[in-house]
Structure 1
């Protein structure tokens, strides 16, 4: 009988040194230096060689014993585990658990931690390790509290943990204005405070080529698949949402350099994509790198297209798009025949601009406007 078990839990673990380890290492080094000084000093004062040897050997032995003690003592570790319902993190002193459904945000610090700060009495929400970046997590149970958990960026398990956490973040939802109906909902990308997602710098992303096992490589490949899909979804919004088409036509206009570069990168990634994890790890790595290129190209494409707005069009065409946006806003606050009339006028403007080559809408975007007009009439 088939099992319906959920996803396998993934754990990222990073060890760190206690102050005791550092002190023992310092003592061992000091004793080794002392042995050398003893050897030189006792030789200069012409001490009996046997005595000199015994003293130096004793000091060196003590140095080695101290160093060995430092190695024998277990290193503590910070861990973070994600399963199908929960995220658990902490160290050997305390483990904190939160439902994934309560996760509000997850970010990766841009700077390296300057110290090791592990659940101090004054800051029980810090699990940082000196020289490492850390995750910044917030949960619905206390939105003002930020948990900081160290991770190693090159660890495939850490990459999978981050990927799963980000997948659980609340999705951006469409914002409805007035009496919006159906496809007249205002997309999040049209809101003034919308911030395009910036891809992680390539130097921070672990590569499939460097994965320590086939399982780790497959997790990274799956993450690349999800990133690829996310870009396709984001781009489709600009192709199919009427308001985004009217506000930011340069995001999808293939005559614009940034859009052309994005399509070139996208075609390459599409060519390398496979339905299943490829046996050839070089191909999997090549696909992962192609997806990284797509994400960067898309970020540049969206950033430039939003910045330029309708500025690449003639003044007359810009005025027509402004009129269409006003009509769309009016349609959101109306219904029935009046709403249908607004949408019909928008449809006419868009098709006219497309016929003149000023606008390059997908047919589905035009169909959506027409479908909205029909629904408005049917709702009467």
Structure 2
């Protein structure tokens, strides 16, 4: 109820109070009239004070929803680019010659630079592009590589997994070093970017700085 409606309710309540006081007469009539008037005023005040709560219950804004979706995509992508295994299992995610992948990285940059008015639409495009890039990478695995490079990636993945199960630190470092050599070979062939955090992580693992 808005303020105008509340005023109308109050006036009507007061009119009813006067009529009841006149009809019943005496102290009882006056008392009933006062009670009716107070009830009307109370109802009007309560409706006004409760009105903002309805607005507050409408939920997050479109911009806030977009921010949450943006964070979700960034978190998911971070799990890919930080994990050396993902590099070796799904190198296609970084093959920008593919339309699906190119679309994702374009959308990633656009969402990060979008003005507030365009931000929700940019994030929605990013979500769709990310789904497409993941779908392509998972469906192809290493099959898009030529035979020798595919074998190299598969060997690197085995070495990385052996390192995680190694019994000694020396053995683990050896496996990580060989896996890193494989990744660098794929980078030199232009199949992976040089600046991925997963490469830095693998280097740290090989040096024994991480476990």
Q: Do the two structures share a fold, i.e. TM-score over 0.5?
A: yes
Within-5 A mapping of 1:293-304: 293-304=125-136
> 2:141 aligned with 1:320, yes or no?
no
> 2:114 aligned with 1:272, yes or no?
yes
TM-score by length of 2: 0.67
Deviations 1:20-55 (A, max 9, x none): xxxxxxxxxxxxxxxxxxxxxxxxxxxxxxxxxxxx
Counterpart of 2:32 in structure 1 is none
CA 255–353 in structure 1, closer or farther in 2 if over 3 Å, else same: same
What is the alpha-carbon distance in structure 2 between the residues aligned to residue 318 and residue 296 of structure 1? 28
Counterpart of 1:261 in structure 2 is 103
What is the alpha-carbon distance in structure 1 between the residues aligned to residue 121 and residue 137 of structure 2? 24
> 2:181 aligned with 1:339, yes or no?
no
SS of the aligned residue for 1:375 comes to coil
Deviations 1:121-174 (A, max 9, x none): xxxxxxxxxxxxxxxxxxxxxxxxxxxxxxxxxxx957x4xxxxxxxxxxxxxx
Counterpart of 1:367 in structure 2 is 200
Counterpart of 2:34 in structure 1 is none
Counterpart of 1:226 in structure 2 is 68
Looking at secondary structure, tell me which structure has more helix per residue: 2
CA 270–363 in structure 1, closer or farther in 2 if over 3 Å, else same: closer
TM-score by length of 1: 0.38
Deviations 1:331-360 (A, max 9, x none): 111130000000000111111111121333
Q: Is the 8 A contact 1:324 1:349 kept in 2?
A: yes
Q: Is the 8 A contact 2:91 2:191 kept in 1?
A: no
Q: Is the 8 A contact 1:240 1:362 kept in 2?
A: no
4+ residue runs of structure 1 moved beyond 3 angstroms? none
The higher radius of gyration belongs to: 2
SS of the aligned residue for 1:313 comes to coil
What is the alpha-carbon distance in structure 2 between the residues aligned to residue 357 and residue 314 of structure 1? 13
Select the structure with the greater relative contact order (CA < 8 A; seq sep ≥ 6).
2
Counterpart of 2:18 in structure 1 is none
Deviations 1:167-189 (A, max 9, x none): xxxxxxxxxxxxxxxxxxxxxxx
CA 157–319 in structure 1, closer or farther in 2 if over 3 Å, else same: farther
Pairwise CA distance, 1:373: 1.5
What is the alpha-carbon distance in structure 2 between the residues aligned to residue 328 and residue 225 of structure 1? 35
Pairwise CA distance, 1:228: 0.6
> 2:131 aligned with 1:289, yes or no?
no
Pairwise CA distance, 1:363: 4.1
SS of the aligned residue for 1:312 comes to coil
What is the alpha-carbon distance in structure 1 between the residues aligned to residue 138 and residue 208 of structure 2? 30
> 2:85 aligned with 1:243, yes or no?
yes
Looking at secondary structure, tell me which structure has more strand per residue: 1
SS of the aligned residue for 1:254 comes to coil
Q: Is the 8 A contact 1:239 1:252 kept in 2?
A: no
Pairwise CA distance, 1:255: 1.9
Give the root-mean-square deviation of aligned CA atoms: 2.3
5+ residue gaps, structure 1, are 1-155, 161-215
Counterpart of 2:138 in structure 1 is 306
How many residues in Structure 1 have an aligned counterpart in Structure 2? Answer: 156
SS of the aligned residue for 1:262 comes to helix
What is the alpha-carbon distance in structure 2 between the residues aligned to residue 227 and residue 157 of structure 1? 21
